[in-house]
Amino acid sequence: MALSWFEHQQFPLYLAPMAGVTDPIFRTLCKEAGADVMVTEFVSAEGVLQAWQRNHRYVEFEQQHRPLGIQIFGSNPEHAAAAARIIVDAMQPDFLDINAGCPVPKVVGKNGGSSLLKDLPLLQRIAAAVVKELGDDCPVTTKIRIGWDAQSICAPEAVLRLQDAGVQAIAIHGRTRSQQYGGKADWEMIDTCARSVQIPVIGNGDITTPQDVQRAKEHTAVAGVMIGRAAMNAPWLFARAKSYLRNGTIPPEPTGNEKLDFMLRHTRMAVDSGHYGNELLTMRAMRARLLAYAKGIPGTKPLRPALSRVSSYDELLEMLAPLRALS
Ligand SMILES: Cc1cc2nc3c(=O)[nH]c(=O)nc-3n(C[C@H](O)[C@H](O)[C@H](O)COP(=O)(O)O)c2cc1C
């Protein structure tokens, strides 16, 4: 069951899964901006088994987001397989992704996410159980980091074990768990892993420009790249990178005013969707997003404290209006 988006020398650009960020509205915006493949925010396998209805909202998607993967985390092979079955039957994603990279204590404390890198046989058992359960119904992929810490780099062994378990692709974030998001992603290690397996490896970590995407394509063996934080600040990176890959030209960044329009449109869509509840709850969820966009817009620095408290769409509209003259 090959993943069609890797066929014919395509080099897909993935939107990285980001809890609290890659909600359905943001995924729609990234799809419009040129993202090829996307992965939902993660959902706990135990949460799916105990309260699927409550956890469902993390993995909702629209048909236009396809090809799309739903990501789960867990530490028990049977439970992961049972949760994967519930998700696939209910949602029919294009692939089911297993998280073995999340560094946050809430996940690691339950032996999920990156703590699986300390127990590769368990990671392999989880992957094999999910692959067996889903059979031909849905391909399985995995996302890993390169190891728990600098003393225990295990990605080369992990990718072989995951390939043996039957996963169809592996995304590698080139950092250890200890690094969290600091230091630099190790693309040499990603490349080494990509060369050692027959399945596609997607490189992830510190891709921020079209040139970074091109470099990964030309100089490493990855079959695609995954973009996280840079997409959060600038979703138009997808289109700019694709143009560069296609014909060597990079379209200009949107102007300041176009970025302001984008911020407002994202906010309007989020409020109208009701995904986060009422307007105040939505604006609370949007604050970090607005601050991320604002980084790339002239004149927004003095607004940062107000943006971090903004509580309605109209307030945001008023706040941004004076900036129009600056761009
Ligand atoms: C706010 C945030 C939430 C994240 N949530 C997830 C997640 O749910 N699942 C996952 O596999 N990785 C998650 N990640 C990691 C990203 O998918 C990605 O691996 C990481 O940000 C490195 O890529 P980048 O340098 O392009 O940002 C998250 C990262 C951030 C910044």
Q: First and final CA of the chain: distance in angstroms?
A: 49
SS3 percent helix, strand, coil of the chain, rounded to 5, is 55, 15, 30
Using most ligand atoms within 8 A of CB, pick from 18, 179, 184 the residue to mutate for ligand 1.
18
Q: What is the pLDDT of residue 315?
A: 98
Q: What is the pLDDT of residue 305?
A: 96
Q: What is the pLDDT of residue 240?
A: 98
Q: Enter the pTM of the model.
A: 0.96
For domain 4-247, give the fold: TIM Barrel (3.20.20)
Q: What is the pLDDT of residue 1?
A: 63
CA of 70 to the centre of ligand 1 (A): 14
Domain boundaries, the chain: 4-247, 256-326
Ligand 1 surroundings by CB, under 6 angstroms: 16-21, 41-42, 71, 99, 101-102, 143, 173, 204-207, 227-230
Structural element, H or E, at residue 204: strand 201-204
| Cα angle: 152, vertex 154, 156; to 5 degrees | 145
Q: How many CB atoms lie within 10 A of CB 63?
A: 6
Q: Which atom of ligand 1 is nearest to 226's Cα? A: 26
Q: Which residues contact 254 (CB under 8 A, 6 or more apart)?
A: 236, 262
Alpha-carbon distance of 137 to 326, in angstroms, equals 53
Residue nearest (by alpha carbon) to ligand 1 atom 4: 18
Coil/strand/helix, residue 19: coil
Which of the residues in the chain have pLDDT under 50? none
Asked if 162 and 131 touch (Cβ cutoff 8 Å), the reply is: no
154 a catalytic residue: no
